[in-house]
Amino acid sequence: VAITLEAGVSLGAMPVYRFGTEEQKQEWLPELASGKALGAFGLTEAGGGSDAGATKTTARLDDGHWLINGSKQFITNSGTDITKLVTVTAVTGENNGKKEISSILVPVPTPGFTAEPAYNKVGWNASDTHPLSFDDVRVPQENLLGEQGRGYANFLRILDEGRIAIAALSVGAAQGCVDESVKYSREREAFGRAIGTNQAIAFKIARMETRAHVARAAYYDAAALMLSGKPFKKQAAIAKLVASEAAMDNARDATQIFGGYGFMNEYPVARHYRDSKILEIGEGTTEVQLML
């Protein structure tokens, strides 16, 4: 549920809010901001997401319309009953020998646009995620979002804000693992006493709490800078890196504390274990954060 909201706001509505014309804002933002509709952002392709140069989806002008062809992968909120908009990045030309990437608004439904069957994922099973195909999709020329050739650069600005949101999700997951582990360690007994009295378990929980605390501090720091209008690109990357790793590490430790029960789907730590890994991948991998 959290990623549906985060992606709907950060990737669906925010690009229109930041870079849209007044007409585009009036057309799309009321429903997107109210939650009556969802938007998606189609950037990632089979051959690359972080690598803009690998973009193969194309858009060319044809009689006052953009003609879009290509495909996208792993696109959140792209196939729900209330999905009304997909912003797609596409190659619209060349500039100094490099691909010119632009963002174009594609209303849903539009002839030629298809949300393929949803992925069968390890985790985030409540999140709507599809591959997308564009087969001679025609949209008006005025559906260009922002300046032509600035699509990828503009998306990176949106991604900085999104990384703070992913850090927030990660902090919640990390703290959830702590809370579940503390509760279980007080209730579960072995050798005649609660397992939480065992120093090995107590120290593991202490490290989990430390990770959650540090991740929360990093997330608050980045968010405070963003809200005050100060540069926050580096802090957003730090928050995303620290928090997503904290979520994954805490999920692993929580599963260990729960023992065999941690591997059973009816226990919440199993869900944390499944759901946390994607936090180190989505909206910029761990490796990308280390480069910012």
* Angle between helix 233-258 and helix 268-276 axes, rounded to 10 deg: 140
Give the C-alpha separation, 162 to 56, whole Å. 24
Give the C-alpha separation, 290 to 241, whole Å. 8
Distances from the Cα of 255 to the Cαs of 1, 168, 201, 248, in angstroms? 22, 21, 12, 11
The active-site residue, picked from 6, 45, 180, 283, is: 283
Q: Is 147 in contact with 67 (CB distance < 8 Å)? A: no
What token pair was written down for 12? 């669906």
Q: Is 283 assigned a catalytic role?
A: yes
Q: Could you give the residue numbers annotated as active site?
A: 283
